[in-house]
Structure 1
Amino acid sequence: MSDHFGDSTRAVKAVSSLPVPGDPVGPGPVLASAYHLSDDEGSEQNTYGRGSNPTWRQLESALAQLEGAEAALVFGSGMAAITAALRATATPGSVLVVPADGYYQVRRYATESLAPLGITVREATADEICDAAETADVVLAETPTNPALDVVDLRRLAHACRRRGARLLVDNTTATPLGQQPLALGADLVVASATKALAGHSDMLAGYIAGSDSELIAAVERERLLAGAILGSFEAWLVLRSLGSVGLRFERQCANALALATALQGHRGVRSVRYPGLPGDPSHPLAAGQMRRFGGLVSIELADEAAVHALVRRSELLVAATSFGGIHTSVDRRARWGDPVADGFARISAGIEDTDDLVADVVAALDAQ
């Protein structure tokens, strides 16, 4: 795809089919579990719904274009994608490094499901992961981290992995391919939850893996076929349908996140604010060097649990919900799920409301406490 196009243009072109007269501009999903077989056995692209689907392939092509990859594979959720990538790359006897400060379910899967297979699992924070890669065989990095929004130096990490001969997997969920291109920075695979900003409407689950190493992609595809962690064809169509507007949505989410972070960093009721796009944020210099946009997440710390609940209750626009990337601005108190954060720590996922309305609403809700 031409690299001179902007994000919205790239997204629209990525989901566009070839212009065939008489065909619909926006094709519908192909709902099928079985296909007509050919006499020329083995020549078919579609044989059974667990192995292939035309709607999958269109979505995978779009995701690959957005990530700058040769290929992409879709899965039933972000966790299905991550676990498939780990199973395909980490083998008994190998050393796997996972984020100590990233999504907590990844750590649980690694320790509960991979460690018993003879895989050594080590945890490392964003500050530690480059050094940890020196003795690893597979490294999974998440950047910016969820929920603290620390940033990993992907160029340095990729160099450490190449020197060691380790595989580098990067979770690009928080940044999205419109905010960051891990493959261009040296990653072997990108893994992500499309549930978040790409699908964008808080109504479905999906995940994907993208990369340009054909053998590695083939290994992951084989894992998907055998394990069956597939994405339904209707859900694939929903993601495809949403991708066309992701440029507009993500642009507003990023603008809203920056405006919120700027307004809240000096508020008397807010103890701390983290957003990689803030010039004074500890991660800003690194983020500015490897991210095109800084994302729609803002992390704040209020006085306590009650203050977080009061913020939502007194707001007209905020909703209390986990996950992120939807059109509504949401607040999630992360200690609720066991993250090692203060009781008043909250992750705000900026939606697509008018920026002035959102900032005024949140500030007013805080002022009322």
Structure 2
Amino acid sequence: MPDHDNSRAARLAHLRRHELEKGDPVPLPLTMAAMYHLPGDPSGFRQYGRFNNPTWDAVEAILSHLEDAPAIAFPSGMAAISSVFFTLLKTGDRILLPSDGYYTTRVLADRFLKPLGITADTRPTASFLDGGFDDYRLVFVETPSNPGLDICDIEMVCKAAHATGALVVADNTTMTPLGQRPLDLGADVVVAADTKAPNGHSDVLFGHVASRDAKIIAALTEWRKFAGGIPGPFEAWLVHRGLETLDVRFDRMCNSAEIVARRLAEHPAAQSVRFPGLENDPAHNLARAQMQRFGFLIGLRLGSEAEAEAFIDGCELIQPATSFGGVHTSAERRARWGDAVAPGFVRLSIGCEPVEELWKAIEAALPKV
């Protein structure tokens, strides 16, 4: 990891220090308030729980520190994505989405943007630059794609899209700001589901939007205020606590994923393994140039649906569940949700277990060949 990211990670747990008065609690207090004491002129004071909250302020400060950009908190990753669409788009606009990214983004566009006269096209992540970006108002990238782990060149997409006047929004959920920095590569907006690794404990839904464009941040803040897509203070408090340990968890998860992916690639039961850190992965060279880490997600293809389900259910150190990024290793067969992957494709999210013990459990549960 580059030194500037080590410095950013080192300061995560110390951001509040400069705000503390003698005798203040070091951990972030939880402020549960819909109302504030507000006699007289309300200008310049907290007014109502839908407008702001001290606990939101703290989690947005830590997210802004990680992104090196202003960040706005939302109650889920999809709430963050929705806020960008409904704030920045209007009737007659066209947007481009990844055909192999998180499917709910495409469902949102089809069911709710299309009736408003907003057209959504799709394109595979691996060939996202093909065809150019003429006539698009917004270009949405998700790299590595979920679940297939294909990669596109964010910097090249941004240059090409900006040349046509399009905004670029990058979904960085799979990598976090410690693994990949889309804003540094030219993206106008980053969205992410902090439900995953940033919170890390699989006990809260959360999301954020970050941008270095002050007008975009102002518009999104106003949209959240009036639309009511606000996070709860307790959820914000949980995410803040999780973010303070993101660096240590993410480092372990990525290190373990590199070990497990290499061993899976050599196992006879694996028909294929996708992981950007593997030298023979089609995305490896671009990943080395674009990403600080290779991530903690592995795409494992076994021989059949039955083999995949037996592997997931039979491994004592794998939690069968949707979502990813928790301290526990988890897995699911993504074809069950309709993703365009083989029936035996398993999205494996490596957690924080001791890697040798984890590998023993994985190896024991793999189909015998």
TM-score (norm 1): 0.96
User: 1:150-188: CA deviations, max 9, x gaps?
Assistant: 111001011012101111110000010000111110011
Match of 2:30 in 1: 29
Q: Residues 41-60 of structure 1: CA distance to partner in whole angstroms, max 9, x if unpaired?
A: 3222x111111001101110
Alignment partner, residue 91 of structure 1: 90
Quick one: which amino acid aligns to residue 9 of structure 1?
Answer: A
Structure 2 portions without partners, runs of 5+: none
For residues 72 and 4 of structure 1, do their structure 2 counterparts lie closer, same or farther at Cα, with a shift above 3 Å needed? closer
Matched with 1:286 is 286
1:259 matched to which residue of 2? Answer: 259
Look up the equivalent residue of 2:337 and give its one-letter code. Answer: W
Q: CA–CA distance in 2 between the matches of 1:263 and 1:354?
A: 15
Which position in structure 1 is the counterpart of 2:114? 115
- Residue in 2 that maps onto 1:74: 73
Shift of 1:242: 0.8
RMSD: 1.5
Number of paired residues? 366
Counterpart residue identity of residue 13, structure 1: H
Number of the residue aligned with 2:348: 348
Secondary structure, aligned partner of 2:177: coil
Task: Go from structure 1 to structure 2 and tell me whether the alpha carbon gap of 1:17 and 1:312 turns closer, same or farther (over 3 Å shift).
Answer: farther
In structure 2, what is the equivalent of residue 41 of structure 1? 42
Distance in 1 between residues matched to 2:5 and 2:115, nearest whole Å: 48
Code of the aligned partner of 1:88: T
- The equivalent residue for 2:218 is 218
Question: Which residue of structure 1 aligns with residue 332 of structure 2?
Answer: 332
Whether the aligned pair in 2 keeps the contact of 1:193 and 1:206 (CA below 8 Å) is: yes
Structure 1's unaligned 5+ residue stretches are none
The one-letter amino acid of 2:249's match is R
Distance 1:207 1:315 in 2: 30
CA-to-partner distance for each residue in 1:56-92, whole Å, 9 max, x for gaps?
01110110110121x1100010000001111111211
Kept after mapping to 1: 8 A contact 2:140/2:171: yes
Counterpart check, 1:172 vs 2:169: no
Structure 1 residue 367: Cα displacement? 5.1
Inter-partner Cα distance in structure 2 for 1:104 and 1:278: 26
CA distance in 2, matches of 1:14, 1:62: 7
Asked if 1:149 is matched to 2:149, the reply is yes
Structure-2 separation of matches of 1:17 and 1:235? 24
**Whole-Å separation in 2 of the counterparts to 1:33 and 1:19:** 24
Residue 15 of structure 1 contacts residue 240 of structure 1 at CA under 8 Å; is this kept in 2?
no
CA–CA separation in structure 1 for the residues paired with 2:300 and 2:135: 34
The letter of the residue matching 1:156 is: M
Which residue identity lines up with residue 76 of structure 2 in the other structure?
S
Q: What is the DSSP-based 3-state SS (H/G/I as helix, E as strand, rest coil) of the residue aligned with 1:26?
A: coil
Runs of 4+ in 1 over 6 A off after TM superposition: none
CA distance in 2, matches of 1:335, 1:355: 27
CA contact (8 A) 1:98 1:107 kept: yes
* CA-CA distance at 1:266 after TM superposition: 1.6
Shift of 1:38: 4.7
Mapping of residues 272-283 of structure 1, within 5 Å: 272-283=272-283
